[in-house]
Amino acid sequence: MIKNIFLDLDETILDFTKAERIALKNTLEHFGAPSGDSVLERYHDINIEHWKRLEKGELTREQVKVGRYEQLFSELGLSADASAVTRYYEGRLKIGHYFIDGAQEMLNSLFGSYRLFLVTNGSQRVQDGRIESAGIKGLFDGIFVSETVGYNKPDKRFFESCFDKIPDFSKAESIIIGDSLTSDILGGKNCGIKTVWFNKNNVENKTDIIPDYEIDSLNQIRALIEKISV
């Protein structure tokens, strides 16, 4: 029976891509850089590359936060204090939130029936602001942000640290739901809990990371959990 549900935040509950574009556009304009669609898309690609390297242990969090702007401004032929850009961007990012379709309904349907835990990579300051803005903090029995935990998903140590803080915890009664194969699903498999890949865009899985279950809509979650719990 499933009792503990671990939920990713970005692109599972909150639309990070939309929030990122708005915050980034404001940041680039503030620092006198072009902010057209092509620049926003290039930053998005650079950012993903940096976070993937963090997941693999190739970069530190600070190197990700600053390095992505160093690379972007370098490609644009501009100079800027990447640390100052980072601080401004995070300040803009933390004040807004946009829900993924069906996320609020999913949370409300699960709340009270299961213990809900939020597991997210990212800056504590930024994620705290977005969670507060979204008004979802009270729905969770625990919120674990990688910056504070000290490890990043998919590192087994991230999850083990979370498990240690949960009373009467059992891996057999736990499941993780997230959009990232390399972070959420691999992390769940690394630590021995069931996994649900939220594949909202129905992309082909070209990796060797195989989730236990796959959904393309959050309104499928409640029925799936109940089925697994039988």
CATH number, domain containing residue 224: 3.40.50.1000
The Cα 106–Cα 89 span in angstroms is 30
The Cα 10–Cα 188 span in angstroms is 16
Hey, is 174 helix, strand or coil? strand
One-letter amino acid of 6 = F
- Beta strand residue intervals within 83-172, DSSP E: 115-120, 142-145
Model pTM?
A: 0.88
What domain range includes position 86?
Answer: 16-93
Residues 62 and 123 in one domain: no
pLDDT at position 97? 83
Active-site residue flag, 10: no
The CATH number covering residue 89 comes to 1.10.150.240
Max Cα–Cα distance, the chain, nearest Å: 59
Average pLDDT score, the chain = 95
Residues 56 and 102 in one domain: no
The Cα 190–Cα 157 span in angstroms is 9
pLDDT tens-place string over residues 185-205: 999 999 999 999 999 999 999
Residues 57 and 23 in one domain: yes
pLDDT tens-place string over residues 1-52: 999 999 999 999 999 989 989 999 999 999 999 999 999 999 999 999 998 9
